[in-house]
Structure 1
Amino acid sequence: MRITVADVPALERGVALLGSGGGGDTMTAAALLRQHVTHGREPDISGALDPNTLVMPVGIVGATAAFTEKLPSGAEFATAVSAIERWTGARAGALVSIEIGGLNGLMPLVAAVELGLPCADADLSGRGLPRLDQLSIAAAGRGLAPAALAEPGGQVLVLAAGSDESVERGARAFLASSGGWAAMAFAPVPAGDLPRCAVMGSVTGALELGRRVLAAGEGPEPDRLAEASGGRVLAMGRVLEVSRHPGPGAHGRAGFGRGSATLTDHRTGALLRLEMENEYLLALRDGHPVASTPDVLAVVDHRTGAPVPCDAIRAGIEVDVLQLAAAPFWTDPRRLPVLQPRAYGIDSDPVLA
């Protein structure tokens, strides 16, 4: 299938919801994608690539807020892909996103158009994720190295070898000294191997999710919102309090910012508290866990339906809180520990839909 102009708003809404409060602002990425499709350069999304086709994972990493301030030159993805092709001697026949949630649900489609390649109907996250060593190829044991980063100023870094954790640390160190964000590419994976190390159908899934939610209109009733999203409404109410604080350092990195948001459910009077890092991670109703990562916890503005990211939630706004079921890849007992609450330093068992 091809992404058309009419598809862009729905795809943008779908990937924003799957960001689980993270993943970065989709506005700039959607504008770049829209510019291509309005000129007839429509991304080709393929769910049936030849099993021998080499599929290269790509995406934007770093401080996503810096992406809107320091815009891409247009050469970053081509540079990162070329660096991996030179290092591995393997030529990419298609691309796949490293993360369907947020701007990385859109930017790899932009890259695919610019490079003249199809994009696999898959990704390496199934949602928004904060760390490279949590990607599905790492969880499946394939390893992240070699990986290449290309930043807007022209610097290129190839992380030729090392553990998944060392690739994560090396990338963060490079980003801290090079402008905040970069395009990243990993060694290509045969398309026939993707079902074992990727979340399949995620691009079309995000598009369908966005279509259903947009069709539900603004301020839908709980039953209609649950039906449209395919999930569960945890609460509908006004945010009472938001607190933020530095997070604990772990996994060889400085801690991401942590916080919580508390609201009153207008329907029951219960208090719902959301624990968050880069994404919403755990929901507690009157102190009892009711939903958690790896399920997607999405907060949307009650009036407009627009997703509210972790860095923008504030006291006083009326919101709806949704729980969307995690991709089956992450509910497998072998992989669940990678994204369960304890992987983020939260002492709670996972609570899944």
Structure 2
Amino acid sequence: MIINEQMIDDIALGATVLGTGGGGDPYSGALMAKAAINNATKPVELLALEQVEDDWLTVPSSMIGAPTVAIEKINSQSQMLVAFEAMEQTLNEQIQATFPIEVGGFNSLIPILVAAQKGIPVVDCDAMGRAFPESQMVTFFLDDLPSAPNTLADEKGNVVVLHPIDGVWSERFARPITEQMGGSAAMCDYPMKGINLKRSALPATLTKAMQIGAAIRQANETGANAVEAVMDIVAGHRLISGKIMDIDRNTSGGFVTGGLRIDKLNTSTHQQPDSIFVHFQNELLVAHCGELASDMSQASLLAATPDLISILDHETGHPITTEQLRYGQRVDVIAYPCDQKWRTPKGIEVAGPGYFGYPVEFVAIEKLVTVDSVQGV
């Protein structure tokens, strides 16, 4: 399948839904990806995971850092290629294919930029099925695949090569380096042969993003309800239709962190809480009933990582990233199941609410949903 401009727009939109608030600004990423495929010497192909040869060297392409930084510091197209080619130089081997480390916003489109410049295909997969804030929160880490080497590059031409013992140490080293690089950097990690990629990656996630994006686009063209169109695809549940009444957002330590309160719309006909609070660290991580962060308890829990939480515009269904959230926006908050790999004991240990310090245990969204609390599809 050859990637075209419509596919890029649909992937950008759908991947921002799956990005659960993180992954970076999709608009600038889509513009850069379109320019890249138009300037490429040959078409960029999207390969199914099973089409990857066992002996191919494959490497993901991504950005690391706080998404809010990109509001004032536009990402450089060249730095992504620098990090990628630094990986080739470090391994002394040519890379045959690239793919997104996460299917989220801008990060879902970076492999298209790199593939267009290198003349290689993009693999229809990722290592999260969503976006997560830290480097070890990938299926490759769950499967004990090595993270090293890592390469990071900034827009000035600085390059750092790391050899961490695992994904946890990759995060510990890469995050402060990213801060010194201005809060965002291009990064390549988890180089692996195709046989391991096929064993560990989550398949067809770019296709899923494309389907979600197309559903939103078509719903707006026909006057259908875009939020319901998204929920049909992701098996989602509406936590609230409401208005953002308060938001606290801070950028430090290479993350954007905070939370927001959403009050139920008076026009809502669904059975929902009067207000909910949503916590985020780049991505939306926990939602619970109540007006304050301190209201959290197991009894008030509505949804929790590693399940997905997305905030969509109430009228258009367009996803809203954490850096774009504003007072007064009318939104729908939906939650839906993560891949089963994240519901294993190790998956919950790595990316569950307890890891982020939230005083609740993970409960699958299917179990949290009741007719008295939220309105499902």
- TM-score of the superposed pair, with normalisation by structure 1: 0.89
* 3-state secondary structure, aligned to 1:56: strand
Conserved? CA contact 1:245–1:259, under 8 Å: no
Alignment of 1:121-160 (within 5 A): 121-160=124-163
For residue 230 of structure 1, report the CA deviation from its aligned partner.
3.5
CA distance 1:316–1:127, change in 2 (3 Å):
same
Tell whether 2:113 aligns with 1:110. Answer: yes
1:250 corresponding residue in structure 2: none
* 3-state secondary structure, aligned to 1:260: strand
- Between 128-137 and 277-286, the greater mean CA deviation after superposition: 277-286
1:279 corresponding residue in structure 2: 283
Q: Which amino acid aligns with 2:20?
A: S
Alignment of 1:230-245 (within 5 A): 230-244=235-249
1:11 corresponding residue in structure 2: 11
Alignment of 1:309-348 (within 5 A): 309-348=321-360
For residue 245 of structure 1, report the CA deviation from its aligned partner.
6.4
Tell whether 2:232 aligns with 1:227. Answer: yes
Tell whether 2:60 aligns with 1:57. Answer: yes
- Between 341-350 and 178-187, the greater mean CA deviation after superposition: 178-187
Q: Which amino acid aligns with 2:169?
A: S
Q: Which amino acid aligns with 1:14?
A: G
For residue 187 of structure 1, report the CA deviation from its aligned partner.
4.7
- Between 298-307 and 179-188, the greater mean CA deviation after superposition: 179-188
Match of 2:204 among 195, 201, 206: 201
CA distance 1:203–1:181, change in 2 (3 Å):
same
Distance 2:147 2:230 in 1: 38
For residue 21 of structure 1, report the CA deviation from its aligned partner.
1.0
Deviations 1:28-58 (A, max 9, x none): 1100112234457542111111122111122
Distance 1:109 1:50 in 2: 19
Alignment of 1:67-86 (within 5 A): 67=70, 69-86=72-89
Distance 1:27 1:202 in 2: 19
- TM-score of the superposed pair, with normalisation by structure 2: 0.84
- Work out the percentage of aligned pairs sharing the same amino acid: 26
Tell whether 2:164 aligns with 1:170. Answer: no
Conserved? CA contact 2:64–2:187, under 8 Å: yes
1:43 corresponding residue in structure 2: 44
Q: Which amino acid aligns with 1:45?
A: L
Conserved? CA contact 1:84–1:187, under 8 Å: no
For residue 194 of structure 1, report the CA deviation from its aligned partner.
1.6
Conserved? CA contact 1:296–1:325, under 8 Å: yes
Which consecutive residues of structure 1, in runs of 5 or more, have no partner in the other structure? 248-252
Tell whether 2:123 aligns with 1:120. Answer: yes
- Between 255-264 and 289-298, the greater mean CA deviation after superposition: 255-264
CA distance 1:311–1:82, change in 2 (3 Å):
closer
Conserved? CA contact 1:241–1:315, under 8 Å: yes
Deviations 1:213-244 (A, max 9, x none): 32222672865553255422221122233344
2:22 corresponding residue in structure 1: 22
Aligned residues: 348
Distance 1:254 1:93 in 2: 31
Distance 1:210 1:80 in 2: 29
1:268 corresponding residue in structure 2: 271
Match of 1:95 among 95, 98, 121: 98
Conserved? CA contact 2:66–2:251, under 8 Å: no
2:185 corresponding residue in structure 1: 182
Distance 2:10 2:255 in 1: 34
Conserved? CA contact 2:143–2:200, under 8 Å: yes
* 3-state secondary structure, aligned to 1:23: coil
Conserved? CA contact 2:66–2:282, under 8 Å: no
* 3-state secondary structure, aligned to 1:75: helix
Distance 1:263 1:294 in 2: 24
Conserved? CA contact 1:240–1:264, under 8 Å: no
CA distance 1:42–1:69, change in 2 (3 Å):
farther
